[in-house]
Amino acid sequence: MTTEEAARLLQLARDAHRRGDFLLHLQLEVSRLTGEASSWGSADNAFVSDDSVGYFLSDVERVGWRLEQTGYTFVESGATTSARMLSTGTGVVNHGAVSGYFTFRRVD
């Protein structure tokens, strides 16, 4: 997560708290799946996780919210395929992100 995105979401949390909202729902990218096709036709996937998510959630709780529910989904953004060199079939490299959905309840 970028610093700008964290600041934007924290401002949303502050604004919702000032308005007196009872629930806050935030969505953010928590990890990413990337990769490249190799010259041999195999898949080379890489999984990158955002270690700052826990710190960010703690910052939201400091604003006056308590984490109640989480959910995650993989959002595929594409795939790369290549023919395998020494066998039949293709190698596939998927691309996408895991989005985290976080619902907070107001703490008074």
Question: pLDDT by residue (tens digit) across 45-69?
Answer: 677 788 889 999 999 999 999 999 9
Instruction: Indicate the pTM of the whole model.
Output: 0.77
Q: d(Cα 98, Cα 47) in Å, to the nearest integer?
A: 10
What proportion of the chain, given as a percentage, has pLDDT over 90? 53
CA distances from 36 to 26, 41, 61 (A): 31, 10, 38
Sequence ranges of the domains in the chain = 3-106
Question: pLDDT by residue (tens digit) across 26-51?
Answer: 999 999 887 665 555 555 667 778 88
Per-residue pLDDT, 87: 62
User: Is pLDDT of 1 > 70?
Assistant: yes
State the DSSP code for 19: H
